[in-house]
Structure 1
Amino acid sequence: MQSSTATADVAGVPPRPQVAAHFASLEVQHHAARLGMWLFLATEILLFAGLFVIYANYRFLFPEAFAAASRLLDWKLGTFNTLLLITSSFTAAMAVHYAKEAKNKQVVLMFVLTIVMAAGFLVVKYFEYAHKFHDHTLPGPYYAYPGLTLPGASAYFTIYFLSTGLHAFHVIVGMIVLGWVTLKAMRNEFSYHNYTAVELGSMYWHLVDLVWIFLFPMLYLI
């Protein structure tokens, strides 16, 4: 990540980042940061891909139980959360647009809206989880829902809690990252020459959104 040290003391002008000693130019430095983020996102995709493979395997083994268990989820809440994340991806993308134009106040606004929608997503998940605990539709040996006793039902909710819990953790991490970038925008640090932090934070948030787009139909609709 490039340094945010200013190369000129001009009031109101975002600082131009300095090039680290091991990079040939600012462009190479930015490219290295993006490449590093793409590699990191690839490992995250592999992590969730393992859960998708587990889901596919157990759904093949227990198709009736998985179909019945999915109907115990509230697809309306899942749809609302999907709309929240899709909208938050838009505001995150707009933050990158404004950062390139050195409109740091708009960057702050876009990321604050993104973080608020992320918090809304977590609140909805809290109510969903609370309902699961109330009905005892819990993972593994803690499953005790009398309305569905088919073999494999407990496996479904094990996968449900693992995948949505891991995703919720990524939402929290994303909120922290975007919060840090927002503080930098409040210090008027971003411009066309220095917006990589905004871009990388937005890329991470798009991953969070993308994973949920796969989880939502897999768990709630299929």
Structure 2
Amino acid sequence: MQSSAHTAGATPGVPRLAAHFASLEVQNHAARLGMWLFLSTEILLFAGLFVCYGVYRYAYPEAFAEASRHLDLSLGTVNTVVLITSSLTAALAVHYAKEGKNSLVAIMFGLTIAMAGAFLVIKGFEYSHKFEEGALPGPYYTMEAVQLPGVPLYFTIYFLATGLHAFHVIIGMSVLVWLMFKAMREKNFGPNNYTAVELGSMYWHLVDLVWIFLFPLLYLI
């Protein structure tokens, strides 16, 4: 009886039970486990960048310290505050999903998406300024203010790390947009059906966590 009800997929607030799972609890546990495994691979991806940064930071300490002073600390700090606040609204979306308040879920995700957009706009201003200065990666580096060996490597890592992070921000925004419209149109999130909101929020927390490491490494050294 339970399987037939779920296959119909018409009961509000009740998730669809896939045929290969014994119960909703097992299905939700598998979804969370899958997300944790996926997030661990993402962490390994950025860990490689952090190791690369550490090696070159050790090889060119003066160059990295001097190059970091040419980043805009004010914009970096604002972006950090924006992302941390967006993590709060993403967490609140999960809270409201558990209570079945779908309109508030949509509002919280809308705020998260707006802050993510603001983050990308601010990062765009930073990139534009770096392009004008000639602080570009590797052989394209032409900034005359700093001519120490190793500075082009710093900006190579800067653009690679922040660009990859921005790509993850865009992916996270896409997921949250889908969840926001799902909450607005279907209004089926509730105490028994909030796993999708939880998983989307988990991914967004990873995006924030990566930036919390990038900010001190790139801006505060």
Identical counterparts, % of pairs:
69
Aligned counterparts of 1:85 and 1:4: Cα–Cα separation in 2: 39
| C-alpha displacement of 1:20 | 1.0
| C-alpha displacement of 1:185 | 0.4
Counterpart position of 1:204: 203
Aligned counterparts of 2:84 and 2:55: Cα–Cα separation in 1: 29
| C-alpha displacement of 1:4 | 9.1
Q: What is the one-letter code of the residue matched to 1:97?
A: H
Structure 2 residues without counterparts, runs of 5 or longer: 1-5
5 Å-filtered alignment, 1:93-132, equals: 93-132=91-130
Counterpart position of 2:51: 53
Counterpart position of 2:84: 86
Confirm or deny: 8 A CA contact 2:7 2:17 kept in the other structure.
no
RMSD over equivalenced CA pairs, Å: 1.2
What TM-score do you get using the length of structure 2 for normalisation?
Answer: 0.95
Structure 2 counterpart SS, 1:211 = helix
What TM-score do you get using the length of structure 1 for normalisation?
Answer: 0.95
Q: What is the one-letter code of the residue matched to 1:100?
A: K
Structure 2 counterpart SS, 1:202 = helix
5 Å-filtered alignment, 1:145-184, equals: 145-184=143-182
Task: Classify 1:4/1:192 alpha carbon distance in 2 versus 1 (closer, same or farther; 3 Å).
Answer: farther
Q: What is the one-letter code of the residue matched to 1:166?
A: L
Counterpart position of 1:30: 28
| C-alpha displacement of 1:18 | 2.8
| C-alpha displacement of 1:52 | 0.2
Runs of 4+ in structure 1 off by over 6 angstroms are none
Confirm or deny: 8 A CA contact 2:86 2:111 kept in the other structure.
yes
Q: What is the one-letter code of the residue matched to 1:207?
A: L
| C-alpha displacement of 1:21 | 1.0
Aligned counterparts of 2:13 and 2:9: Cα–Cα separation in 1: 4
Counterpart position of 1:44: 42
Task: Classify 1:41/1:5 alpha carbon distance in 2 versus 1 (closer, same or farther; 3 Å).
Answer: farther
Deviation per residue, 1:4-62 (Å, 9 max, x gap):
95454xxxxx3312321111100000000000000000000000000000000001110
Deviation per residue, 1:118-143 (Å, 9 max, x gap):
00000000000000000000000000
Confirm or deny: 8 A CA contact 1:4 1:15 kept in the other structure.
no
